[in-house]
Amino acid sequence: MIKYYFRDKENKELKELSSFKQGAWIYAEDLNKDEIEKLASEFNLEEGHLVDALDEFEVPRLEIEDGDVYIFLRVPVKDRSGSNTMPFLIILGKQFILTVVREQMSFMEKFIKNETDFQTNQKIDFLYQIISMVNNLYYRRITEINKKVRSIRAGIERIDNKDIIKFVDFEQILNDFVSALQPMSAILRSLLKGNIMKLHEDNLDSIEDLLLSSEQLLENAKSTLKNIVNIREAYSTIISQDLNRVMKLLTSLTIIVTVPTMISSFYGMNINLPFENSAFAYIGILGVTLFSVLIFIMIFKKNRWL
């Protein structure tokens, strides 16, 4: 699907055009082969880059072809099987800005439905607003995960296998985010140099704000990842200590129960034994048994086995 939109300072509403005009925003979604060839032919675009934009595993990067700037990003998505991010291509042409997505993205609907103020012929400002929304999506997802991690950490003594599975999922999501945010920061640094496209002072300030925001998101994602790793390590330590405690307890109980059995078994042997004819033999055996058991209990308690 290919659509053309236009809005400038004289128009308060975004207009959908029947054909392209200078300064328009070209919106491309779920392109087929014919549509890719059409865009490549009409606007002198690199066909391979358009195909790459539809690759679910395409990595973020910056490309320049014949004066056109291709900015590959990844946008966070929620409740979707497979990848936790989706590819998103922004092309800054001489007379247009073009966005390519695999499938509909809710944040782009805000532009289409006139829910945000922008002008299609102001390419850098439009780019700033798009990436700002992408960063906001990352912020909300990272903050949501961070809150869940903190909630689980508050009751670390009650962590179970379900929580550990959640941590594994969180780690996968955050690793995907880190893999997307690191090259995004590199892209913004490249744009800041000013040798890719001409930037005014206001544009430079906007790109700097985006860079700071992206780097902060990257640090937040890494920090949350570190917290998850620390909690998992603490959980492993607690489990190991609990297992050692149980093993020590079982060993202690086994020894304590074995002592009376050993002593009584001696007097069950068919041989002559000391005090076997004494009237106090039973009391003596019972006393020695209890004394031996108490000695072992004291030893185990001193060594914190009980």
pLDDT tens for each residue of 31-42: 999 999 999 999
The answer to whether residue 153 sits within a structural domain is: no
What is the rounded average pLDDT of the residues 19-34? 91
| SS3 of residue 63 by DSSP | strand
Enumerate residues 6+ apart whose C-beta is below 8 A from 179: 59, 74
The percent of residues above 70 in pLDDT, for the chain, comes to 92
- Quick check: 279 pLDDT over 70? no
Residue 42, domain CATH: 3.30.460.20
In this prediction, residue 101 has a pLDDT band, given cuts at 50, 70 and 90, of very high
The answer to whether residue 220 sits within a structural domain is: no
Tell me the sheet residues that pair with 17. Answer: 4
The answer to whether residue 162 sits within a structural domain is: no
Query: Which of 59-63, 150-154, 245-249, 257-261 shows the highest mean pLDDT?
Result: 59-63
The answer to whether residue 11 sits within a structural domain is: yes
The answer to whether residue 94 sits within a structural domain is: yes
Contact (CB, 8 A) for 120 and 25 = yes
- Quick check: 152 pLDDT over 70? yes
Residue ending a domain, among 91, 118, 145, is 118
Residue ending a domain, among 118, 134, 166, is 118
The answer to whether residue 109 sits within a structural domain is: yes
Domain range for 254: 242-302
Bridge-based pairing of strands 2-6 and 68-76 is: unpaired
Count of domains forming the chain: 2
What is the rounded average pLDDT of the residues 270-295? 72
Question: How buried is 101 (Cβ within 10 angstroms: 0-12 exposed, 13-18 middle, 19+ buried)?
Answer: buried
In this prediction, residue 188 has a pLDDT band, given cuts at 50, 70 and 90, of very high
Bridge-based pairing of strands 85-92 and 68-76 is: antiparallel
What is the rounded average pLDDT of the residues 106-132? 89
* DSSP codes joined into one string, 72-141: EEEEE-SS-SS-SEEEEEEEE-SSEEEEEESS--HHHHHHHTT-S---TT-HHHHHHHHHHHHHHHHHHH
The answer to whether residue 18 sits within a structural domain is: yes
The answer to whether residue 4 sits within a structural domain is: yes
Residue ending a domain, among 118, 136, 166, is 118
The rounded mean pLDDT for the chain is 85
